[in-house]
Amino acid sequence: MVQVTVGARLHFGFQNLSLAHERLYGGLGVALESPTVSVEAHPADEIRCDDSRARKYARCATDLLGVPGVDVRVHETLPSHVGLGSGTQLALTVLAAVARAYDRQPAVRENAPELDRGGRSGVGVSTFEEGGFVVDAGHPTERFTTDRPSRGEWFVPPVVASHAIPAEWRFVVVLPETKPGRSGDDEDESMRSVVERADPTIANDISTVLLRRALPAIVGDDPERFGDAVAEIGRLNGAWYADEQGGVYRPPVGELVTEMEDSPAIFGAGQSSWGPAVYGVTTRARADGAVEAAQLALDSVDVAGDVSVARPRNSGASVNGKQ
Q: Which residues contact 301 (CB under 8 A, 6 or more apart)?
A: 252, 255, 256, 259
CA–CA dist 71, 89 (Å, integer)? 19
- Are 308 and 34 contacting, i.e. CB atoms less than 8 angstroms apart? yes
> What are the residue ranges of helices labelled H in the chain?
52-65, 86-101, 108-111, 123-130, 184-197, 200-209, 215-219, 223-245, 253-261, 287-300
Work out how many domains the chain is built from and give that number: 1
pTM: 0.94
| Tens of each residue's pLDDT in the chain, 323 residues | 899 999 999 999 999 999 999 999 999 999 999 999 999 999 999 999 999 999 999 999 999 999 999 999 999 999 999 999 999 999 999 999 999 999 999 999 999 999 999 989 999 999 999 999 999 999 999 877 666 667 667 899 999 999 999 999 999 999 999 987 666 667 778 888 899 999 999 999 999 999 999 999 999 999 999 999 999 999 999 999 998 898 999 999 999 999 999 999 999 999 999 999 999 999 999 999 999 999 999 999 999 999 999 999 999 999 997 64
CA–CA dist 60, 66 (Å, integer)? 10
Domain with 105, as residue range(s), is 2-321
Burial 7-33 (b: 16+ CB within 10 A, else e): bbbbbbbbbbbbbebebbbbbbbbbbb
- Are 84 and 36 contacting, i.e. CB atoms less than 8 angstroms apart? no
Residue 173 belongs to domain with CATH number: 3.30.70.890
Task: Find, among 322, 260, 308, the residue nearest to 7 by Cα.
Answer: 308
